[in-house]
Amino acid sequence: MSSQSTLSDDDLFGEAAEEMREEVEAHLDNAHAALPDAASMWQTNADNVLGALNGLRSALDAGDAEEHLRQAKKTFVVGTRADAFDDPDELRSEVESVEELLSSINTADELASELTTTVPQLHDQLPEADEESDE
């Protein structure tokens, strides 16, 4: 292999590494864009608790954020194993940040979902308990 082709391989590797970094960053940007809006999650127009919980669940929809995070992680893993990034710790930190945020959103959604089921049951059970205590 001549020094010309080696230089060309290095140039191509550098170009591919830059493209991988850009791909990771683009997927992270898309993941951020797909995250729920803080204001819509915080405010409600509901007339009751169940309406508020259903509104919260809708507001917690992360859309395609998880898929974008998955794509970012795949490209990051390949780039890291190929030692293609000059500063993998910075990218790793960004990936982990989105991952933690999505985990929190998913936890909140699960809790809201549980309450969406539990609150109507309690609503129905409490009057029955009150009637039983009156007897």
pLDDT at residue 95 greater than cutoff 90: yes
pLDDT at residue 45 greater than cutoff 70: yes
91-95, 110-114, 122-126: which range is least confident on average? 122-126
- pLDDT attached to residue 40: 87
pLDDT mean over 119-127: 91
What residues contact residue 61 under an 8 Å CB cut-off, 6+ apart?
36
Would you say 46 and 55 are in contact if contact means Cβ atoms under 8 Å apart? yes
Count the domains in the chain.
1
- pLDDT attached to residue 78: 94
Closest to 97 in 3D by CA, of 69, 63, 62, 67: 69
Average pLDDT taken over every residue of the chain? 90
Round to whole Å and give the CA distance between 19 and 12: 10
Would you say 95 and 76 are in contact if contact means Cβ atoms under 8 Å apart? yes
| Domain hosting residue 130, numbered range | 3-134
Longest dimension (CA), the chain: 97
